[in-house]
Every structure is written in C-alpha cells, then in structure tokens.
Structure 1
Amino acid sequence: MTGAATDAQRRPAAVQRTAVVTGASSGIGAATARSLAGEGYHVVLAARRTDRIEELADEIGGTAYTLDVTDEAAVAEFAGWLDRADVLVNNAGGALGSEPVADGDSDEWRRMYEVNVLGVLHVTRALLPKLTAGGDGTVLIVSSTAGLATYEGGGGYAAAKSAAHAIAGTLRLELCGAPVRVIEIAPGMVRTAEFALNRFHGDHAAASRVYAGVAEPLTADDIADTIAWSVTRPSHVNIDLLVVRPRAQAAQHKVHRT
C-alpha cells in the first residue's frame, strides 16, 4: 500500500478526495473507514448508530452522518447535504437466519433484500451525479461469495448478495465510457464481532460454530486492506471482481477445520 499512500500524500489538501462508507459503525465498514483515512481520503461515515460513527469520525478526522440506507428519502437528503463524493463503498448489509427455504422467514428475507440490495440502489443512484462530476469516481460494492455460490441454509442471504453481484455487473456495463469505475469485492469467511451474532439473533454458541476449528478466518482489516488497495489503483485500472477467502476455505462448502 506504500505507493498508494505516497500518491495520496502528494495531493494538495485543497483537493482532498472524499470517500463515503456505508455501514461504517462496525466490522468491515469501520475498518474500511480507517484504511481509507490512512490513504488520505476524507471519509464520510454513514450508518444508523450515531454514537459509534461519531467516535470513529473523531478518531480518523472524518465526518459522521446518521443514515439508514433503506430509507430512500433520507438517502436523497444525504446526497443533497454532501459536497462531493469520489469513492462510494456500499458496505451496509448483513444476513439473518439460516433456515432452509421451506421454512424461510419472509420478514427476514425482506429485510436482507432491503439492506443488501435496495440500500445499494438508493445510495449509488443518489451519489452517481457527484461521482461522475468529479471526473474520476469509484463505486465499490461489498458483496459475498454467497452471491456466487449457494449453500444450504443460506437461501435468503445468497439471493440478496446475488442481486448485489448483478447490480455491480449491470452498472459497469451502463457506465462504460463514463469516468466512474465499478468494483466488486466478494469476501468469504470473515470473522467480525457482529455478523454471525446478528444472523443467529444473539445466539453466541450458534455464531461461534460458524468459525469452529478454523484457525484463521479473515478479519475486517483483511477486507478493508483489499478495498483500500482496489480503490487506490490508477484510474484506468478497474478491479471488476475480487474474491477474498481465508486459506482454510476452498469453497462455500469446503472449509478445513481442525
């Protein structure tokens, strides 16, 4: 990351670039905010938990903005408030439940779709004019390997992340010729403080079983480092799709456990 950091340091403060990170209150989003701040970006942290993003914004010299990406009107208001946007990291998302399709909870499936899919639509659509106007914009979508391969008990989440994957591919086609890159990062098994715990509704034992016997799952910092590397490539370089897994995970269904 040394070369990218040097490029950022060479930019005059007056033209400091702005990166918007959704879901920035914890996990991959918070780690990404730190990484992009380290690369010289002014980071706008957008998430629902005001106290967390304000604390992190103070730490990294960024700006906190309380936002629910599923609220279309609130996202439009956010876009109107924002002076500029050079990078958008669509990170807000999550999984709920692990029941088979036959027992799927409609409310959970709906919530996953609203956050993982409509949230990406709302924020991307609202910020595209600013990303384009800057002449060198980047839209990054954090999808998942679940969007590339299905697995038992993951129907709702896989469906939502498949849609996010489709958005990235479609947007790249539609923006061909425009000064905006579209990057997709698809993480595999990442151990964060909240992802599995939220999925299993606070059941610590169930959340722990996801990572049982896996010596080194990925961390939020691993994905943040990948995101920062991707967005700091030269403008003509587009990382279309980057799949990131721990060495122990060969596929969704193939994980080495000791």
Structure 2
Amino acid sequence: MTSPSAADRPAPSSAPLTAVVTGASSGIGRATAARLVADGWRVLAIARREERLAALAEETGCEVLAVDVTSDDSVADLAARVEELFGGTLNAVVHVAGGALGVEPAAEADLEKWQGMYETNVLGAVRVTRALLPAVRRSGRGDLLFLTSVAGHEAYPGGSGYNAAKAGEHMLASALRLELNGEPIRVIEIAPGMVRTEEFSLVRLGDQGKADAVYDGVENPLTAEDCADVLSYALNAPHHVNLDLVTVRPLAQAAAHRVARHQGL
C-alpha cells in the first residue's frame, strides 16, 4: 500500500504535521515513527526504554521522550512536552503501546497478566487520549489512531486475556468516533493479524524457541514495516477520508486461529 499522491493530499501548510507515537521502542511503533518522519511529519516517539528511543532519534531525527502510559504523572509530562515542542497543538496520536502476556485458558487465568494487558492496551490508551485530546482539537485537523488486533474481533483458544484487552481498545475507538462526530478529528482503527516482530511473541511466551515456533511454516508473516505502511496511508489520506477499521493479515492467515503452514519454510 502506498501513501496518497501529492495531488490527492490537502494543500501543504507552512508547518509539517505533528504526531505522538506510543510504543515506539520496537516493532510496529518504531517502524511507524520512522515512516512518519520519512513522510515529512514531526514525530515525538515515546516508550519506556530510553536507550532504544535514543537509537531511534539518532537514526531518524525524531523527538523522543521516555513515557510510561500506565502512569498519570508520566503522561502529564508527555502533555507538557507536546506543549513545548508543538505549541500545544497536535495532529495525530498513534496508539501502538500494548501487547500480550501469556496463553493460559480463562479457567487458569493469571490475573496479574490480565491486569497488565488491560492497563497498557486500554487504560494506557485512555490516559494518553485524555491528556492529548485538547491539543488534537486545537490543531483543526486531528487523528486518533488505534493499533488494535484481530484478537479484539475474533476469539481464539489461549487468547482470552488479550482478546478481552484488545476488544476493550476497539470499543474505546468506536465510542470516541461517536463522541467526536462533527469535529475535525478522525478515529482510525488498524487491526493486524500475524505480524513477526522481534519482541511480541517473545514477551508473550517468555521463551525464544516458543516464540519462533509461532511462525514456523508460515510464508511471509507481516512485518512491522508492512503495518507502518498501512498506518501511513491512513494518516496521509485526505482528511475527509476516514478508515474506520482496517483488518490487515498475511495471505497465509484466514482467521486469528487459521494459518496455513508448510514444511520446509
């Protein structure tokens, strides 16, 4: 997918568009921050790991800030930094921070893992939205983009905790779209299927061998850059065009639990 041509985009203003990208220390968040900088956006990339953010800043020239989206104080610091960097206006908040923990069935649920997933995927997104929505409103051309998952739309065995968290984030986006109707703010949801990144399955499963096995025999699972391409298209489309919900999967995946696997791959 390619971004809209220059002829299809709104006439450029004197200043570049601005974005905050959460979860930018790795995977889709990192790829998205880099892609938006390449598209000409001014980007503030946030995550918890300062050393990874420093490497991203050196590579792309984006601004960075260490932020924990589960902390009110940390997100307040983010709002202050947006005020300082962008004059209190902001065009886009790109919610990528999240993730899955464990694959236990609901009958054996580890409630600390469930709480961790809800804190990051749902409450973290709410907290950042609440803090930055005033700046998005002031921009006159705003976007709230939520990277959810097919797991928020399709249940699968061993996914109940992540299913519940991502379904919650999906409903947050859906409610915001109704609540902000009539304002110049798009609410966009991108729901990827199987994406192979360096950390998602490793963090979820806690073992590199198990993480690698998730992708065994799968021809061309999505990459972080594939997802960043879709996010870039959604954010750069003419502002009257809203991609309410986009599901993006590798060709090998027909559903969250249905993946074609071939020996020797």
Q: Is the 8 A contact 2:122 2:169 kept in 1?
A: yes
Q: Please name the residue that 1:238 is paired with.
A: 242
Residues 41 and 6 of structure 1: CA distance in aligned 2, closer, same or farther (over 3 Å): farther
Secondary structure in structure 2 of the residue aligned to 1:82: helix
The correspondence of residues 106-125 of structure 1 with structure 2, limited to 5 A, is 106-125=111-130
Q: Please name the residue that 1:184 is paired with.
A: 189
Structure 1 CA distance, aligned partners of 2:49 and 2:7? 33
Q: Which amino acid aligns with 1:54?
A: A
Q: Which amino acid aligns with 1:131?
A: V
Structure 1 CA distance, aligned partners of 2:65 and 2:219? 36
Q: Please name the residue that 1:219 is paired with.
A: 223
Q: Please name the residue that 2:86 is paired with.
A: none
Q: Is the 8 A contact 1:37 1:60 kept in 2?
A: yes
Q: Which amino acid aligns with 2:247?
A: V
Stretches of structure 1 that go unaligned for 5 or more consecutive residues are none
Q: Please name the residue that 2:66 is paired with.
A: 66
Q: Which amino acid aligns with 1:80?
A: A
Q: Is the 8 A contact 1:4 1:39 kept in 2?
A: no
Q: Is the 8 A contact 2:4 2:233 kept in 1?
A: no
| Runs of 4+ residues over 4 Å off in structure 1 | 4-10
Q: Which amino acid aligns with 1:94?
A: G
Q: Percent identity?
A: 50
Range moving further from structure 2, 52-61 or 119-128: 52-61
The correspondence of residues 1-258 of structure 1 with structure 2, limited to 5 A, is 1=2, 3-4=4-5, 11=12, 14-83=14-83, 84-201=89-206, 203-258=207-262
Over the aligned positions, Cα root-mean-square deviation in angstroms equals 1.6
Deviation digits for residues 93-126 of structure 1, max 9, x if unmatched?
Answer: 0000001111110111100000000010000111
Deviation digits for residues 168-227 of structure 1, max 9, x if unmatched?
Answer: 1000000000111000000000000000000012x1111112111101100000000000
Structure 2 CA distance, aligned partners of 1:236 and 1:191? 32
Residues 180 and 80 of structure 1: CA distance in aligned 2, closer, same or farther (over 3 Å): same
Q: Is the 8 A contact 1:20 1:89 kept in 2?
A: yes
Q: Is the 8 A contact 1:4 1:233 kept in 2?
A: no
Structure 2 CA distance, aligned partners of 1:216 and 1:49? 29
**How far 1:81 moved relative to its partner?**
2.3
Structure 2 CA distance, aligned partners of 1:242 and 1:82? 28
Deviation digits for residues 220-240 of structure 1, max 9, x if unmatched?
Answer: 000000000001010101000
Q: Which amino acid aligns with 1:253?
A: H
Identify which of structures 1 and 2 has the higher relative contact order when contacts are C-alpha pairs closer than 8 Å and 6+ apart. Answer: 2
Structure 2 CA distance, aligned partners of 1:62 and 1:162? 31
Residues 199 and 5 of structure 1: CA distance in aligned 2, closer, same or farther (over 3 Å): farther
Structure 1 CA distance, aligned partners of 2:6 and 2:129? 26
**How far 1:77 moved relative to its partner?**
2.3
Number of aligned positions between the proteins: 256
Report the TM-score when normalising by structure 1: 0.95
